[in-house]
Chain A
């Protein structure tokens, strides 16, 4: 049997890597060699991924974790170096009960109801960026004019980060998600974002506003360095993810005109359409990753304590036992149960916010520019295979 490594390179930009699909046909879980030579596992089946991510015997803490792809290996090599320690408050890399403490402080801010209340403001922000794009005229890079600024401004307002300061974190935040960044660059970028957020936290203590960070400060539950870590996590998670869904989603729609028409013309189809785009595009294309704290059996295979397991979400979301005819983009199907937001206690905190942004963003864009089309051949659109979050680097469009 040939040695399995984490599948990442794609022949067709919207389909999972061919090796992943081939493996998934054989079994739901496979032995895999991680980037540092660690012998762990790769999960390609939907049921196995659910079992893994729901199981408290698997840890998400960085000191246990092996990384499936090279590129960020320097980080692990240097993990003993305190400069590379994750900031306190970075709760995505904690286990319960430590994780629970942070998550519970935030969940009240991200409920379905809270997000409904935010809707008018998201609509207004959306209109603003569409107006500016229209005024500037075609052609345009949709990522720069719409897909990135919309979620970026929304998360800034929610957190209480001045949007005018975005120059101080947007480039760094992109850099932190690059697979090709050097350790020193990564350290420098992380340090800049942290010192920016730290400054902001101290300012909120003195002049609290009507925003999430000020609210967190007021609970008195968190120390400044913890608040800084939480804020950094939310800021990065909040704008690179939805931005890539909006960019890659628009690319998918423009290359599937019949599906585009469904989303543009039928308001009742929007919610389902967004779930299908989440499933089909699966922008989190590396991981989630967990490490067994004890021996655990998953789908008949014995995972030994200390072994890391990486999920390949793009192929898990094409599992034919869960989604019939999985490789077809069908905005009218029931795509719920997809794992685009993960599963288990770490399932995306911002998912209702992301849904609201997409439910508003896609139809508004398609209705404003009914003749929207790619300004270059589809194969010339640069894909983010080199980033931890998949998507398009740029999307040249015209109308």
Chain B
């Protein structure tokens, strides 16, 4: 799996951090999404899929399933 985040689109709602804290973080100043890793291992993938679904702005995507 490969995850892509677009910080210009992100509105810093923080849902991704609540849903998959091992993959997503928020920037200290702007609160926008920071990828901790873009290649989540199997055990994190379900949470990543859910985070993508919950993201209100469409800022995170899965490029390669």
A104 to chain B, nearest CB (A): 6
- Known A-B contacts A104-B30, A336-B19, A336-B50; the reply to A110 vs B12 at CB < 8 A is yes
- A79 CB-CB contact with B under 8 Å: no
**Residue in contact with B14 in the complex, picked from A53, A54, A351, CB distance below 8 Å:** A351
Contacts of B26 in A (CB 8 A): 111-113
- Known A-B contacts A112-B18, A113-B26, A345-B11; the reply to A107 vs B32 at CB < 8 A is yes
Interface size, A (range): 20 to 34
Contacts of B13 in A (CB 8 A): 341, 347-349, 351
Contacts of B27 in A (CB 8 A): 108, 111
- B53 CB-CB contact with A under 8 Å: yes
Beta-carbon contact of A107 and B30 below 8 Å: yes
Contacts of B19 in A (CB 8 A): 336
Closest B residue by C-beta to A348: B13
Interface size, chain B (Cβ < 8 Å): 21
Interface of A is mostly: helix
- A103 CB-CB contact with B under 8 Å: yes
Scan residues 238-281 of chain A and give those whose CB is less than 8 A from a CB of chain B. none
Beta-carbon contact of A111 and B54 below 8 Å: no
Give A254 to B58 CA distance when docked, in angstroms. 38
- A70 CB-CB contact with B under 8 Å: no
Beta-carbon contact of A111 and B50 below 8 Å: no
Closest B residue by C-beta to A347: B56
- A352 CB-CB contact with B under 8 Å: yes
**Residue in contact with A107 in the complex, picked from B17, B31, B54, CB distance below 8 Å:** B31
Contact with B along A106-130 (1 / 0, CB 8 A): 0111111100000000000000000
Give A123 to B62 CA distance when docked, in angstroms. 38
- B28 CB-CB contact with A under 8 Å: yes
Beta-carbon contact of B12 and A111 below 8 Å: yes
Contacts of A352 in B (CB 8 A): 14, 18
Give A175 to B62 CA distance when docked, in angstroms. 46
Contact with A along B1-42 (1 / 0, CB 8 A): 000000000011110011100000111111110000000000
- A37 CB-CB contact with B under 8 Å: no
Beta-carbon contact of A345 and B56 below 8 Å: yes
Give A85 to B31 CA distance when docked, in angstroms. 30
Contacts of B11 in A (CB 8 A): 103, 107, 345, 347
B6 to chain A, nearest CB (A): 13
Closest B residue by C-beta to A103: B11
Give A108 to B58 CA distance when docked, in angstroms. 19
Give A209 to B29 CA distance when docked, in angstroms. 18
Give A112 to B53 CA distance when docked, in angstroms. 19
Contacts of B32 in A (CB 8 A): 104, 107
Beta-carbon contact of B56 and A343 below 8 Å: yes
Beta-carbon contact of B17 and A112 below 8 Å: yes
Contacts of A348 in B (CB 8 A): 13
Beta-carbon contact of A337 and B54 below 8 Å: yes
A131 to chain B, nearest CB (A): 31
| 29 A–B contacts from the bound complex (CB under 8 Å) | A54-B56, A54-B57, A54-B58, A103-B12, A104-B30, A104-B32, A107-B11, A107-B30, A107-B31, A108-B28, A108-B29, A109-B31, A111-B12, A111-B17, A111-B28, A112-B17, A112-B18, A113-B26, A336-B19, A336-B50, A336-B54, A337-B53, A341-B13, A344-B56, A344-B57, A345-B57, A348-B13, A349-B13, A351-B14
Residues of B participating in the A interface, judged by any CB pair closer than 8 Å: 11-14, 17-19, 25-32, 50, 53-54, 56-58
Residues of A participating in the B interface, judged by any CB pair closer than 8 Å: 53-54, 103-104, 107-113, 336-337, 341-345, 347-349, 351-352
Known contacts A104-B32, A347-B13, A349-B13; 20 further A-B pairs (Cβ under 8 A): A53-B56, A103-B12, A107-B11, A107-B12, A107-B32, A108-B28, A108-B30, A108-B31, A109-B31, A110-B14, A111-B12, A111-B27, A336-B19, A336-B50, A336-B54, A337-B53, A344-B57, A345-B11, A347-B56, A348-B13
